[in-house]
Amino acid sequence: MRIITISREFGSGGRELGKRLAETLGIPCYDHEIIDMVANRYGLDKNYVSHVSEKDIRVFYPSTIGHRLMTNSSVLQQSVKIAAAQHEMIRQLALQGDCVIVGRCADVLCRDMHPLNIFVYADRLSKLQRCETRADESEHFSEKEIFRKMKQIDKERAAYRELFTEEKWGKKEFYHLCINTSGKEIKTLIPAVAAYVNIWFGQD
Amino acid sequence: MRIITISREFGSGGRELGKRLAETLGIPCYDHEIIDMVANRYGLDKNYVSHVSEKDIRVFYPSTIGHRLMTNSSVLQQSVKIAAAQHEMIRQLALQGDCVIVGRCADVLCRDMHPLNIFVYADRLSKLQRCETRADESEHFSEKEIFRKMKQIDKERAAYRELFTEEKWGKKEFYHLCINTSGKEIKTLIPAVAAYVNIWFGQD
């Protein structure tokens, strides 16, 4: 079975890499779809699930224990439940057959299925340019705002990962292949990554 | 021009990867050869050049300044001279045409030639096994000794790099592709890496 997981820095093009790689390999890519599936199954709002899905659940912990604990605790329970549902969903999808899964600690969750785990990263300037190109005409963020968003999202991803595992997000030791996309168009890298994937699994 | 530089953890199989990759691409691989060339040109002993070549030149600095400074200073001068000769040699080789260069900060030294910079790494156990397999029958090192040697050599490589650049050795941000060889035979990865290299340069 070929399970490929993509972890990525915000703005590095990791999501695009996952989508295009899956297309080239002729297998499904799961990304936002996971949120929709969890929302549908639990009758929850997609935005809410999305909000919780890659964020640090600890932010929902009460800041002062014992004070209004009930309210916060129920929010926390809901968040943990959504995370658990998402984890279950990811494993079910992976068990169905070959696929690419973007983000969501899939590398850790599917470890027993021996996935190929890829980390996608880039330098700050390349990520900034990618974010600017990707933004709608109607959106306008300053460079400073984009850099702040990058940092914040990556921090949330790291914290989410560290809730479930001892493995640090983005540390090359925890991935099989780390791809620097700085200055590169993602689509030009795809045949190379696809070749790597095919040979990787071909030998198993 | 296709210049591929290989930086690697001790025991990760980076040298073998470089040799085999060069063979597959039909281009020369420079590794120990650089030491021989420098030794020949300067009429120095190969072992001496090898000893200095990837070590931290700072170890040759006098520990107490002003005390027997002359002796230490001349050793230091010789070491710096050898390092400079090696750097010059690496640039000359790269300028001759497509090649793979293993270690020796070639990625930094040849930056203006736009090399593809690969970092090869593996988990401790895989590196241990590779060291054990590679050792002569006559050599016997305990696991502890091998781990100590691994740590020491990687530390020297890191220090050597940090003498010439602000870039930290082994930090994924400073490489284009980081390859984890844990549990893999190097030769099985070569077609994948060669495909990556060809596509990388094909698009330039």
Q: Percentage of residues in chain A with pLDDT exceeding 90?
A: 55
| B176 contacts chain A (CB < 8 A) | yes
The Cα of B195 is separated from the nearest Cα of chain A by a number of Å equal to 6
- The answer to whether the pTM exceeds 0.80 is yes
**pLDDT tens digits, residue range B134-152?**
876 667 788 899 999 999 9
**pLDDT tens digits, residue range A107-151?**
999 999 999 999 999 999 999 999 988 876 667 788 899 999 999
| A4 contacts chain B (CB < 8 A) | no
Q: Find the DSSP H helices in chain B.
A: 14-25, 32-42, 46-53, 69-96, 106-109, 124-134, 143-164, 186-202
- Quote the pLDDT of residue B159: 87
Reduced to 3 states (helix: H, G, I; strand: E, B; else coil), residue B7 is strand
Task: Please report the residues numbered 74 through 133 in chain B whose beta carbons come closer than 8 angstroms to any beta carbon of chain A.
Answer: 119, 121, 123
Residue B174 carries which side chain, given as an amino acid letter?
Answer: F
Residues of chain B neighbouring A124 (CB-CB closer than 8 A): none
ipTM above 0.90, yes or no: no
The number of C-beta contacts closer than 8 angstroms across A and B is: 64
**pLDDT tens digits, residue range A68-111?**
444 556 666 777 788 888 889 999 999 999 999 999 899 999 99
**pLDDT tens digits, residue range B157-204?**
898 888 878 888 999 999 999 999 999 999 999 999 999 999 999 844
- Quote the pLDDT of residue B69: 45
- Quote the pLDDT of residue A167: 83
Contact of B197 with A195, CB cutoff 8 Å: no
| B177 contacts chain A (CB < 8 A) | yes
Q: Do A119 and B193 touch (CB under 8 A)?
A: no
Q: Do A179 and B175 touch (CB under 8 A)?
A: no
The Cα of A128 is separated from the nearest Cα of chain B by a number of Å equal to 16
Residue A28 pLDDT exceeds 90: yes
- Quote the pLDDT of residue A202: 84
| Integer Cα distance of A183 and A165 in angstroms | 32
Residues of chain A neighbouring B191 (CB-CB closer than 8 A): 195, 199
Q: If you measure CA to CA, which chain A residue comes closest to B182?
A: A176
- Quote the pLDDT of residue A50: 80
**pLDDT tens digits, residue range B47-62?**
888 877 666 555 544 4
What Å distances lie between residue A99 and A3, A22, A54, A64, B105, CA to CA?
5, 7, 20, 43, 38
The mean pLDDT value for B105-121 works out to 95
Q: Do B123 and A192 touch (CB under 8 A)?
A: no
| A177 contacts chain B (CB < 8 A) | yes
Token match 């200055």: residue?
A183
Residue A45 pLDDT exceeds 80: yes
* Closest C-alpha to B173, from A125, A129, A165, A186: A125
